[in-house]
Structure 1
Amino acid sequence: MTTTQPGSRPLDAAAGTVVYGSARGTGLLAAVVLGSGIAFLDSTVVNVALPTIGRDLGASFAQLQWVVTGYTLALAAFILVGGSLGDRLGRRRVYVWGIAGFAVTSLLCALAPTADALVAARVLQGVAGALLTPGSLAVIQSSFRPQDRGRAIGTWAGVGAVAPALGPPLGGWLAEVDWRLVFLVNLPLAALALVLTVRFVPESRDATSDGPLDVAGAVLGVLALGGLTAALVGTGGGEGGAVLQAVVPAGAVVAVVAGAGFVWWERRARRPMVPPSLWSSRTFTVANLLTLAVYAALSGLFFFLALQLQTSLGYRPVLAGAAALPSSVLLLLLSSRAGDLATRTGPRLLLLVGPLVAAVGVALLAPLSAGDSYLLHVLPGVLLFGLGLALLVAPLTTTVLAAAPDRLTGTASGVNNAVSRAGGLVAVAALPSLVGLGAQEYADADALTDGYRAAMLVCAGLLVLGGLSALALPRRYADCAPRDERTDGRTGAGTPAP
């Protein structure tokens, strides 16, 4: 059954009423988890296959870097546009475009005859991924009943955490057969996600967005995020990354100029792509700052832990990648429960405790050095870190989305995704030089251990700061929402704003 809002296209009456655990709710979650999971998987699955790709296509080191960077750059640059388009044109519609585009570009990657062709296809794949990632969260927020959203987002976060963790072992296994399978495996997954989306996902959109698209805002946003990402990735390009290093000054200039232009334009545009009113919400602003700190710490931990395990403890790359897998398992098992608990008790306590527990886990990993065992010296820290993440990820995402008007869930999701990716890129780009690690020190176990320990303390500090910032958040989700869209925290029924 469909209904029509004034000035809008027909919408499915199920939007905002889907029940968690129902047949439709299960199918909807499967659709968004599978679709976004493909994008998450491709952020890590390709890395292990790079040596094989290089040999088969005769690629230079710089070209191989761009196989990874081209995807990251396009994904980060277009993620705001993807979220905004969903609000305007229909969240299910744009999500379907993203899945179909990801399948087509994955096929182009698999058929690439040269390294340059592969890089170009990866850039297009990143653009498609930018439609998937914010779209999946926007679909959950706009489709489920308010009282079920926290649990649904927790399930999405838990299953989504497993996808990138499975990337390295899956990529290594497929690359041993044929590296092109790394991309071809996306096709049947995307086909299934499309079928589930069409069958179970209701359509929803911002009924007030009838004016023309904010083209100027979209272009400035892409340039700002793309320039920032290029500069940060180039800073962390390391040895052999001359191509990446060359774009650092240009990327920084573009990011600053376009970012300033974006802020100026959005404050004056009649229908801005990212309404400035979003940032007038203290909850939205604080939750995004918490996101920045947590995801910077997350990326810094995984980056340095993998290096330390391989260089100082002698782990093989696949084993080093699998060392943190227990944290992903905890996310899978506990995230939906944490989301449900936060819905009933409010987000603030979990967003305070979660980062602090994760910080203790990072501190336990800081003394790690040559000769230490996995069970005694690695696993306890990994488990505590994973427990902290499981407590905070779903409540944090739900808080960000709850602080935005329902009509802007796609935009809010795009902003939060951009913030989390920026935090991760800043950590990987800035932490090595901050702790005194250069190209030579990466191969020196003693020098790396000193830098690793300093980096772990920085990551733990970021988590503590993030946790303490949660004290500025409301106790209840009902108080997170804009004043004219607040709901009763017990039933989800709308109540007049005070």
Structure 2
Amino acid sequence: MADHAAPPLQKTRNERHAFAAQAAPCDGLAILAQPAGDRPCHRKRLALAATILGSSMAFIDGSVVNVALSSIQRELGGDVAAMQWIVNAYLLLLGSLVLVGGAMGDKLGRRTIFIAGIGLFTAASVACGLAPSSGALIGARAVQGVGAALLVPGSLAIIGAVFDERERGRAIGTWAGVGAVMSAVGPVAGGWLVDAFSWRAIFYLNVPLAAATIALALWSVPDSRNEGATRRLDWAGALTAAAGFGALTYGLTRASSHGFNDETVIGSIVAGILVCAVFIAIEARSEDPMMPLDVFRSRDFSGANLVTLLLYFGLSGALFFLPFTLIRAHGYSATEAGAALLPLPVVMGTLSRFTGGLATRLGPRALLTVGPLIAAVGFTLLALPALFETDRETYWTSFFPGLVVLGLGMTITVAPLTTTVMTVVPATRAGVASGINNAVARIASLLAIAVLGIVFMWSHGAALAMRLERLNIPPDLHRTGQLLEPDTSTLAGAHAVPARMLEAQAEAIDAGLRAVALTSAACALLGAACAAATIRGQKKRQGETQEQAR
């Protein structure tokens, strides 16, 4: 069954991912792993609409917050670490619980868990909109992540349960296309809401969307479940993963301002590593692990996930700091910053139809080597213009080329990445494989924002100190904790050089982005090397695949 459904999935999956930077590369594979429901659905189009609306809420929220962070910091205050956690709290809980969320739907009812996820996500969205402080917003974002961990796999499972094999390809295509458009428009529309109203509006927008989604789900979706499912929910693994990655991320985030000599930083990182090791031990001994370790016996599967980790590490970090730079150093509005990112999804969406079949003709190894190499060139191009140009009218000759080349590299990579994950495991384990790859991509985003935050902060600090020294302004007068919302009023009054101070700050922020982009390029190059070393050039025979997975 999986082999027959693979071509349409490969194409549509590629299209949807092109527009959802926060989405994991193998979400769509979970659909293939779902058996058709035993209860017929007479309102399939409405059921599909419910899944599209529900998943789009999570995808849009994952990307639109980046363009709102500057406005959030202006109103709520907080340092860079707090802004990082507004994004990371969501990613941490989503990445840790998404596999358990899918299993809960199979066991307790897919519609039930989907609606529960929508309800929790919406309640958390309202809490985000009402948040009086950055700490309250971080907590609400964490709850949003829990809700997304229930609704995202639930939306995929509903498609698999409602549509049979003959109809599933078209349903996936519709889901992918509409989701792609909504995810592409999200940062632009979100930026407009921030500029026209407030950053709080991007969270309140979820309320009417959720109401429509729940109404459609109750009216049209049968509450199917896998009656033969005997797997126990791996709460020990999920909670251990969340604790381990949470401690590790906290330590890395704190290191950007306190350094690696800080006792709390060292303790958090060490604790995070130890708890992650406990997580692996739990998964190795569990009878029903959420992440079966035996699938990593396949060199291709391990290689594909390593490429996912490295490439999405670089992509997530670059797309996190690029809007900051456009707004803080180049004077973009939130709307303009969101629109500036459009070349990436437009290129991927336009070319995905032409590159989708290359994986079959050329084999995954070649494309998974060439794609990251081209992406590395794109990251490098993003690092170059900020040194010389600060006028936003130069966008077409500065940031635009880098985003176009990056989009080309990602387009070449996504299809063979999906194909590799799918074909190196038996069809019966496609859902498990896709879930693992999904989680790897989200963890890559989580770690990227923390680690590249160190790169950004240290590069910014060094560049700013050098420029302040040239201006004869003591560096300790600058509020480095507010670098994304420079406060130069004190300096302007004391030294009467506000324009020069703002220019120094902009140049320092550009230096931080340049360091992040070059680090991302290095990760992409390493991903290409890993693909060349681990991915086989030809598909494995099904018998060999099954033997390896045992």
- Residues 396, 377 of structure 1: alpha-carbon distance in 2 compared, 3 angstrom cutoff: same
Instruction: Percent identity, please.
Output: 39
Match of 1:426 in 2: 447
Structure 2 segments unaligned to the other structure (5+ residues): 1-33, 465-503
What does 1:69-84 align with in structure 2 at a 5 Å threshold?
69-84=88-103
**Conserved? CA contact 1:36–1:160, under 8 Å:** no
Q: Which of the numbers 415, 420, 436 marks the counterpart of 1:399?
A: 420
Q: Which one-letter code corresponds to 2:64 in the other structure? A: V
Q: Counterparts of 2:223 and 2:121 in 1: how far apart (Å)?
A: 20
What does 1:75-224 align with in structure 2 at a 5 Å threshold?
75-86=94-105, 88-89=107-108, 93-111=112-130, 117-136=136-155, 145=165, 152=172, 156=176, 159-160=179-180, 163=183, 166-167=186-187, 169-174=189-194, 176-194=196-214, 209-224=229-244
Asked if residue 231 in structure 1 is aligned to residue 251 in structure 2, the reply is yes
Q: Counterparts of 1:89 and 1:81 in 2: how far apart (Å)?
A: 12
Q: Which of the numbers 359, 362, 371 marks the counterpart of 2:389?
A: 371
Q: Counterparts of 1:252 and 1:441 in 2: how far apart (Å)?
A: 27
Q: Which of the numbers 358, 370, 377 marks the counterpart of 2:375?
A: 358
Q: Which of the numbers 448, 459, 465 marks the counterpart of 2:526?
A: 465
Asked if residue 38 in structure 1 is aligned to residue 57 in structure 2, the reply is yes
**Conserved? CA contact 1:137–1:410, under 8 Å:** no
Match of 2:473 in 1: none
- Residues 60, 376 of structure 1: alpha-carbon distance in 2 compared, 3 angstrom cutoff: closer
How far off its partner does 1:279 sit?
1.6
Q: Counterparts of 1:476 and 1:181 in 2: how far apart (Å)?
A: 49
Q: Which one-letter code corresponds to 2:545 in the other structure? A: R
Match of 1:12 in 2: 37
- Residues 170, 434 of structure 1: alpha-carbon distance in 2 compared, 3 angstrom cutoff: closer
Match of 2:463 in 1: 441
**Conserved? CA contact 2:193–2:202, under 8 Å:** no
Match of 2:498 in 1: none
**Conserved? CA contact 1:70–1:126, under 8 Å:** yes
How far off its partner does 1:296 sit?
1.4
Q: Counterparts of 1:123 and 1:270 in 2: how far apart (Å)?
A: 29
**Conserved? CA contact 1:350–1:392, under 8 Å:** yes
**Conserved? CA contact 2:118–2:214, under 8 Å:** yes
**Conserved? CA contact 1:162–1:328, under 8 Å:** no
Q: Which of the numbers 345, 350, 356 marks the counterpart of 1:328?
A: 345
How far off its partner does 1:351 sit?
2.8
**Conserved? CA contact 2:184–2:342, under 8 Å:** no
Q: Counterparts of 2:441 and 2:415 in 1: how far apart (Å)?
A: 14
User: Is 98-107 or 377-386 further displaced after alignment?
Assistant: 98-107
Q: Deviation per CA, 1:211-236, whole angstroms, max 9, x where unpaired?
A: 43333223322322332333344445
User: Is 438-447 or 366-375 further displaced after alignment?
Assistant: 438-447
- Residues 401, 144 of structure 1: alpha-carbon distance in 2 compared, 3 angstrom cutoff: farther
**Conserved? CA contact 2:47–2:216, under 8 Å:** yes
Q: Which one-letter code corresponds to 1:181 in the other structure? A: A
**Conserved? CA contact 2:110–2:154, under 8 Å:** yes
More helix by share: 2
Provide the secondary structure at the position in 1 that maps to 2:230.
coil
What does 1:333-352 align with in structure 2 at a 5 Å threshold?
333-335=350-352, 338-339=355-356, 342=359, 347-352=364-369
How far off its partner does 1:413 sit?
3.6
- Residues 41, 248 of structure 1: alpha-carbon distance in 2 compared, 3 angstrom cutoff: farther
Q: Which of the numbers 252, 271, 292 marks the counterpart of 2:269?
A: 252
- Residues 383, 464 of structure 1: alpha-carbon distance in 2 compared, 3 angstrom cutoff: same
Name the larger-Rg structure: 2
Q: Deviation per CA, 1:461-486, whole angstroms, max 9, x where unpaired?
A: 32233234334334566758973499
Provide the secondary structure at the position in 2 that maps to 1:123.
helix
Q: How many residues align?
A: 466
Q: Which one-letter code corresponds to 1:358 in the other structure? A: A
**Conserved? CA contact 2:306–2:527, under 8 Å:** yes
**Conserved? CA contact 1:141–1:149, under 8 Å:** no
Match of 2:406 in 1: 385
Provide the secondary structure at the position in 1 that maps to 2:530.
helix
Q: Counterparts of 1:356 and 1:214 in 2: how far apart (Å)?
A: 38
**Conserved? CA contact 1:81–1:414, under 8 Å:** no
Q: Counterparts of 1:397 and 1:195 in 2: how far apart (Å)?
A: 33
- Residues 42, 294 of structure 1: alpha-carbon distance in 2 compared, 3 angstrom cutoff: same
Q: Deviation per CA, 1:377-435, whole angstroms, max 9, x where unpaired?
A: 33222112112222322442353344445555554344223322332333333346458
- Residues 165, 259 of structure 1: alpha-carbon distance in 2 compared, 3 angstrom cutoff: farther
User: Is 207-216 or 151-160 further displaced after alignment?
Assistant: 151-160
Q: Counterparts of 2:173 and 2:362 in 1: how far apart (Å)?
A: 16
How far off its partner does 1:294 sit?
0.9
**What TM-score does the superposition give when structure 2 sets the normalisation length?**
0.69
Q: Counterparts of 1:331 and 1:123 in 2: how far apart (Å)?
A: 30
User: Is 271-280 or 409-418 further displaced after alignment?
Assistant: 409-418
**Conserved? CA contact 1:327–1:386, under 8 Å:** yes
- Residues 52, 85 of structure 1: alpha-carbon distance in 2 compared, 3 angstrom cutoff: same
- Residues 149, 255 of structure 1: alpha-carbon distance in 2 compared, 3 angstrom cutoff: farther
**Conserved? CA contact 2:310–2:524, under 8 Å:** yes
**Conserved? CA contact 2:110–2:158, under 8 Å:** yes
**Aligned-pair Cα RMSD in Å:** 4.5
**Conserved? CA contact 2:378–2:405, under 8 Å:** yes
**What TM-score does the superposition give when structure 1 sets the normalisation length?**
0.75
How far off its partner does 1:64 sit?
6.4
How far off its partner does 1:305 sit?
3.8
Match of 1:6 in 2: none
Q: Counterparts of 2:408 and 2:268 in 1: how far apart (Å)?
A: 37
Q: Which of the numbers 267, 284, 297 marks the counterpart of 1:280?
A: 297
Q: Which one-letter code corresponds to 1:38 in the other structure? A: M
Q: Which of the numbers 266, 272, 285 marks the counterpart of 2:283?
A: 266
How far off its partner does 1:289 sit?
0.4
How far off its partner does 1:295 sit?
0.6
**Conserved? CA contact 1:39–1:133, under 8 Å:** yes
**Conserved? CA contact 2:97–2:149, under 8 Å:** yes
- Residues 97, 390 of structure 1: alpha-carbon distance in 2 compared, 3 angstrom cutoff: farther
